[in-house]
Amino acid sequence: MRKFIYLTTITLDIFYIVGIVSQFMHNPHIDHCNVVARTFRYVQKALGQGLLYEGKEYIQIFGYCDADGVG
């Protein structure tokens, strides 16, 4: 399971899956093992994908978040 949790440092989009499956770490069912295997296949296919930033003199990156916990 440590290797599975380590993958969250490489691909951030599997945080939710790792959190759910790790709840059943001490008493896993065959369905949980299937989810882990499927996630490994997903990560294996998605490793070469990502964002490429070319080396230019000036680059600006903007990020926005809508975090309204009340509304």
Render pLDDT for 13-48 as a digit per residue (tens, 0 to 9): 788 888 888 888 888 889 988 988 888 888 888 777
Please state, in angstroms and rounded to a whole number, the distance separating the CA atoms of residues 14 and 23: 15
Q: Please, which residues have CB within 8 angstroms of residue 25's CB and are 6 or more apart in sequence?
A: 1
> Is the Cβ–Cβ distance between 21 and 36 less than 8 Å?
yes
Q: Which residue has the higher pLDDT, 61 or 23?
A: 23
Both tokens of 16, joined, read 């939710």
**pLDDT exceeds cutoff 80 at 5:** no
Give the predicted TM-score (pTM) of the model: 0.55
As a dihedral over the C-alpha atoms of residue 69, residue 16, residue 27, residue 42, rounded to 10 degrees, the angle is 170
